[in-house]
Amino acid sequence: MIVHSKCREKRWVHRLHNEIIGLYTYPPGDESLTGNIYLGKVDKVQKGLGAAFVDFGQGRNGYLHEKDFPQNVEAYQRESDPTPIGKCVHEGQKILVQVIKDEMGTKGARLTAVIEMKGEHMVYMPKGHYVAVSKKVDDENRKVLRRLGNEWKSPEEGIVMRTNAAGVKEAVLQEELIHLRSLYERLENVSLRAKCPSLISRQDTFYEDLHEHLKKGKGGKIVFDDYDSMLQAEEMSGEEIRVKWGFELYQGHENIFKYYRVHSAWETALRKIVWLGNGGFLVIESTEAMTVVDVNSGKFTGKDNLEDTILYTNKLAAKEMAKQLTIRNLSGMILIDFIDMKKESHRNEVMDSLSEALISDRQRTTIVGFTKLGILELTRKRTRLPLSASLTRPCSVCHGTGREMSPESMAFQLERELWECDGDASQIEVEATREVTDVFSGKQGIHLHRLQKALNKKIIMKESTHNHPYYHITKII
């Protein structure tokens, strides 16, 4: 793991056997709000949506669904009738909420009133009402942890035992639960005195994410370019993590990413086309609603029959797509248009390849299956913004469509605008790119002469050096 934290924007790279498997970016002032706890005020209750919109002091109101209220946790688990949103909250009510998804595009942040306090071995929910154990825990330990959770919690509390709780001494787990309870009590006391809306507890996303990866990783080396950051990461880490990972400080003059030859990784991760090892490629396009992926065989023809060629390319694409989900932090609804496969067994092989490659992904991904049109549907839990949204903004030319106006369109638009110019003017000067001027003027200037005669005005075209089709009327005399 290579950590660049000496600048205002912090970044780190996760590399395994010289292959990049994760990119993480933390711009200043644009940190993720996920995990933060706020005292908010209910601005509007929408009974038809079964949700409330909460002003939690971050500009756009957050979205709080009725299923994310303590009184409805059990109802939604048992699939019984929940308490209607109108009986959960009322407009103007103060409420303690936690962000579970950052805002994205036109959608506000997703909130919950079921507060979670994360510990090393468990997640404590003061009003969670249930006990759960990580699916990765074996059956024997699962029974023990579930029994302990039910013994220790009050009726309204909730506890989720994490994977690494298996085999841990009861005293250690109970001590952690007591500590998390006291943390929440302090937060409640702060919220009673706080103005509304206000931030009650902030998650340091950069160090939290770093710590989470160190804890769940199998070990290796982590290199920092900043001494204070290394110290803070070491302090957060227990002895087990420090044994697994070697903490090092890079003191070279060259940028740490250049030294480790990963400086171009972000640029690569933003490209629309991703090449596969056999000459095939993926085309990845994201919108606010979903991510769409097209798989192409490209230059690969294969040595065997066509069906085997298609299967091989699709399996490569599935493995690469699993990696791209993590690197680009793609989430929400994802549709992959694999090369058409006629055999059901081949489709199952591709899904198995994708499922196997997703094992190491820390975000929850659900593979729904192939549609009748042969498109694979999957969903990935959304918490933070995708990499593209963190590093880029909509183009000022195309405004995020990924396309620009053609020279022809710009030339015809200029012509329409000239017809509207002041009737008393005798001369008009226009600055335009060569492409626009050529289309506007026509071969040997025939269109330009025709327009000058029709308007009874002299039109002077001056060349502009813009890097996209452009014109601007600079002077009307």
Q: Nearest CA to 327 among 268, 246, 252?
A: 268
> 150: part of which helix (H) or strand (E)?
helix 139-152
Q: What is the per-residue pLDDT for 30?
A: 65
pLDDT exceeds cutoff 80 at 301: no
Residue 408 has pLDDT above 80, yes or no: yes
CATH architecture of 37-201: Beta Barrel (2.40)
Give ∠ CA 103-104-105 in degrees, rounded to 5.
130
The mean per-residue pLDDT over the stretch 414-436 comes to 90
Neighbour tally for 353: CB within 10 Å: 19
Asked whether the predicted pLDDT for residue 303 surpasses 60, the reply is: no
Separation between Cα atoms, residue 46 and residue 64, nearest integer Å: 10
Mean pLDDT of 362-374: 90
pLDDT of 382 higher than 90: no
Beta bridge pairs of residue 143: none
Rounded mean pLDDT, 319-348: 93
Distances, alpha carbon 477 to alpha carbons 415, 450, 472, in Å: 18, 20, 15
| Extents of the domains making up the chain | 2-31+206-259, 37-201, 270-391, 407-476
Cα distance from N-terminal residue to C-terminal residue, the chain: 64
- Cα-based distances in Å from 441 to 74, 169, 296, 474: 72, 83, 41, 17
For residue 276, pLDDT over 60 is answered with yes
Mean of per-residue pLDDT scores for the chain: 89
Closest CA to 454 of 421, 407, 410: 421
Does domain 407-476 sit in CATH 3.30.2320?
Answer: yes
Mean pLDDT score, 79-107: 88
Task: Note the Cα 85 to chain centre separation in Å.
Answer: 29
Residue 373 DSSP code: T
Candidate from 157-161, 183-187, 245-249, 356-360 with smallest mean pLDDT: 356-360
Among the listed residues 207, 197, 261, the one whose alpha carbon sits nearest the alpha carbon of residue 234: 207
State CA 91 to chain mean position distance.
31
Place of tokens 């404590």: 124
pLDDT tens digits for 304-323?
A: 678 888 999 999 999 999 99
Round the CA-based radius of gyration of the chain to a whole number and report it.
29
Instruction: Tell me which CATH code domain 270-391 carries.
Output: 3.40.630
Residue range 201-231, pLDDT digits in tens: 988 888 888 988 888 888 899 999 999 999 9
Whole-model pTM: value is 0.71
Q: What is the mean pLDDT of residues 125-149?
A: 90
Q: What share of the chain is helix, strand, coil (3-state, %, to 5)?
A: 35, 25, 40
